[in-house]
Amino acid sequence: MLDERTEKPSHIRKIIHVDMDAFFAAVEQRDHPELMGQPVVVGGDPASRGVVATCSYEARSFGIHSAMTASRARVLCPQAVFVRPKMDAYRAASQQVMRILRSYTHLVEPLSLDEAFLDVTAATTDGTLAVQIAKEIRARIERETGLTASAGVSYNKALAKLASDWRKPNGLLVIPPDRGLTFLAPLHVSKLHGVGPATVERLSKMGIHTVLDLRNTPQETLTRRFGKTGLWFYEVARGIDLRPVQPHRERKSVGYERTFQENLSDRTVMLNTLQEMAGQVSRRLHELELTGRTVSVKARFGDFQTVTRAHTVAQPIWRAEEISACLPELFAKAVPPGLPVPASVRLLGVTVSSCADAKVNSSDSGQLSLLDEIMHYQLAQLS
Ligand code: TTP
Ligand code: MG
Ligand code: MG
């Protein structure tokens, strides 16, 4: 590609990030027109231990959001309509959206059912503007699926993703190269890819709150504190993100987790439950034709403290008995015998990651590596 003014090769990429608005809830409203304009909460049962998967924007104005307990959502908005997830309908809508995206470029990288990155650098060499493509994509999604999407256009993934979030719902934002640094400066660090609650806390203790603070921190300080991730922080704070759009990126993990109606305190029951989950994970891996090398067990205690323990095996596995073989040891590490009685368990999960080096970090669990698959199963289980 040639730069118009200099006739020299230009290496500036054109990346679009598309993310559906209130995805599960929007599908429900489309399919049940009486729900249009209503606060709709998609998730588990508010009468038991259900969790909110998402909710319509009408419900968000009451303070409801993803991952909150459904019972809390009902307190915030008693008139909300609670619906159980219908994954088949969401998968079908997702496929329709991904087909539309792939009609513009084969460089489409889905991140979850409702979002994807597109690299349209090649598609714009004829003078078409990336923003024009983004507008057309939004219009086509709305026309062909009856759902709205927001889009962000920029010169790398990190900024395109921030841009799509900026004007939600049903919005579009372009961040051109000369606006990147100004856009980033005032943002809270938690907006950055890879910065979860534990990292926010560590950065905050170093006096780093905004991206500008991060930009003003020496590279050496960041790498000393955060290793390779520190280098990522250094670069992304400067609007540098060289990650390519990878159309065939592997799903990184498949997991199953469950919140119990009543906390568990019997270790035998816990281990049996994990073994059952290993069976579910195995079936899903088989369906997706995936194998993995890292098995992890997650436990959330009565006080909401959450631990994850992982084990990596030499050869890729998918069979239930292979996954199960890792469980007793992982379980003993996650939930050590002899914990006091209040340390009962409210959630258990089993995950197999297909990347040998998938990082499972006990504090910022999985913020870089987990795709939606895990949450979906949690909800399927609750419904
Ligand atoms: P998001 O794109 O994060 O959220 P959203 O599409 O509902 O709302 P918006 O993008 O407008 O802010 O997630 C996409 C879907 O994934 C969401 O509709 C439901 C599901 N999901 C869960 O099941 N659990 C979760 O914790 C989150 C965040 C999403
Ligand atoms: Mg969305
Ligand atoms: Mg999304």
Token look-up 């504090």 returns 363
**19 Cα: distance to centroid of ligand 2 (angstroms):** 5
Residue 277 lies in a domain: yes
**Average model confidence (pLDDT) across the chain:** 88
Query: Is there a single domain that holds both residue 126 and residue 222?
Result: no
Instruction: Looking at the structure, tell me whether residues 295 and 345 fall in a common domain.
Output: yes
Note the pLDDT of residue 341.
56
Are residue 140 and residue 24 in the same domain, yes or no?
A: yes
- 29 alpha carbon, closest ligand: 1
Stated pTM of the model: 0.75
Provide the pLDDT for residue 251: 61
Scanning the structure block, which residue is given the tokens 């507008």?
135
For residue 29, how far is its CA from the centre of ligand 2 (angstroms)? 15
Residues 6+ apart with CB under 8 A from 333: 297, 309
Number of domains forming the structure of the chain: 3
- Kindly give the distance from the C-alpha atom of residue 112 to the centroid of ligand 3, in angstroms, as a whole number: 6
Instruction: Name the amino acid, one letter, at 350.
Output: V
Q: Is the CB of 372 under 6 A from ligand 1?
A: yes
DSSP symbol at 8: S
pLDDT digits (tens, 9 = 90+) for 285-314: 877 777 888 999 999 998 888 999 999 988
Residues 138 and 201 in one domain: no
Per the domain annotation, does 19 fall within a domain?
Answer: yes
Domain membership flag for residue 243: no
Domain residue limits at 224: 185-236
CA distance 255 to 327: 14
Instruction: Please indicate, yes or no, whether residues 132 and 195 belong to a single structural domain of this protein.
Output: no
pLDDT tens readout for residues 142-182: 999 999 999 999 999 999 999 999 999 999 999 999 999 99
Binding residues for Mg(2+): 19, 114
Give domain status of residue 122, yes or no: yes
Smallest CA-to-CA distance from 373 within 196, 114, 194, 112 is with 112
**Angle formed by the axes of helices 87-102 and 23-31, to 10°?**
110
153 and 190 part of one domain: no
> Residue 333 is part of a domain; what is its CATH number?
3.30.1490.100
pLDDT-derived band at 383, boundaries 50, 70, 90: very low
| Same-domain status, 27 and 170 | yes
The verdict on the CB of residue 22 being under 6 Å from ligand 1 is yes
Q: CB of 255 within 8 A of CB of 352? A: yes
312 lines ligand 1 (CB under 6 A): no
Q: Which of 54, 60, 170, 373 to mutate to test the pocket of ligand 1 (most atoms within 8 A of CB)?
A: 54
Confirm or reject: Cβ of 375 under 6 Å from ligand 1: yes
- Which residues, at least 6 apart from 13, have a Cβ–Cβ distance to it below 8 Å? 119, 121, 155, 156
3-state class of 2 per DSSP?
strand
Residues 149, 33 share a domain: yes
- Alpha helices per DSSP H over the chain: 23-31, 57-60, 70-76, 87-102, 130-145, 157-166, 180-184, 197-205, 211-215, 219-226, 228-236, 267-288, 320-334, 373-382
Shared domain check, 20 and 165: yes
Q: Is 171 inside a domain boundary?
A: yes
CATH code at 227? 1.10.150.20
Q: Which tokens sit at 65?
A: 């959001």
Residue 75 forms part of a structural domain: yes
What does the CA dihedral 216, 179, 231, 200 come to, rounded to 10 degrees?
A: 70
Whole-number Å distance, alpha carbon 170 to ligand 1 midpoint, is: 15
Residue 115 Cα: closest atom of ligand 1: 2
> 319-360, pLDDT tens digit by residue?
899 999 999 999 999 998 877 655 689 999 999 986 533 333
What ligand is nearest to the CA atom of residue 116? 3
41 in any annotated domain:
yes
pLDDT of residue 192: 94
**Could you tell me what percent of the chain has a pLDDT over 90?**
68
Mean pLDDT of 231-235: 96
Same domain, yes or no: 22 and 1: yes
Active site residues: 115
